Structure 1
């Protein structure tokens, strides 16, 4: 049977253990592999510190002649075998990008980029990925609980509400509009209390309240 497939100059039509068959000037020439291609090389990757729930992006830049084949590994296991939609690999001619969406704590690992050229061993670059938990900022003023006394209404005057702040083990008064002071005993002539609820200043809990 005749093979009618076109053959172009420079095409590789066969490969031996240490050589390749290349079409040169209309003839088939046996050339050593090291004359045909170059081993792969990769650039080092930097460690990544991510926050849980955020995106992780690793980029591997590699070079070889012809362009290398790039694959990713997590703790020595192929990422291609990880059946997670959160993992996505984007391959380009001389680089590859691994994207992890919505990072989780168990995504923390050592990731490898392996670039395999036409000749020579694979080139490897590694990056350690750490995933930190999300931190929620505490409010400036902790919420107060009702004062632990038989008659808390008698402590605060002029209709104020007695609150106990466990973090400092002290009680304070939440004054109604028009009053301020430690026990709401003063009438606020400036009427600034219409904008803020007054707490006693002695607690030092927050500067966001007018005293």
Structure 2
């Protein structure tokens, strides 16, 4: 990953988003109401929400891998444990741990100035993604291409909620489904060394992406 954010485009129908009872009906419903858009990922079912500003449907904070904690730290990613019921997907998830604000390995100085930011809620349990779809998927006769956006940041910094997948849909004239994804960063995702190689895996952050849709 470079410092600049990059996008990875998959032209095939990589994900099937199913809408139950129509997206327009969810505008006046609560996030967990049965009339909300529903996506079934086989291991979990999520209820999304309608974005009134963009007119799109969004599913925020959907898990795509098991929490990389405990015995799974510095290990190859594992598939999520199946859960029953319908889970809400209308809030941004915790960010992955990253280096301090603006800090990098080459210099202790801040790159982003001393402006205060809203507090983050970093966690090792951070392997989530956001999915954005055109509003009325029920009227679309064919599967749409999926654009998967993987943020940059030198493999040690950045987070996904500053990248709005709604913008990708607007640029594509409602012709894509947009996915924005988080992955392990810094020492949790890219810790080098022979000891890590012997007892775990190298480039765990990149390996994590292999489980994404």
TM range (shorter): under 0.3
Q: TM-score, normalised by structure 2?
A: 0.20
Structure having greater relative contact order (Cα 8 Å, sep ≥ 6): 2
Give the structure with higher Rg (CA): 1
Q: Which structure has more strand as a fraction of its residues?
A: 1
Greater helix fraction, Structure 1 or Structure 2: 2
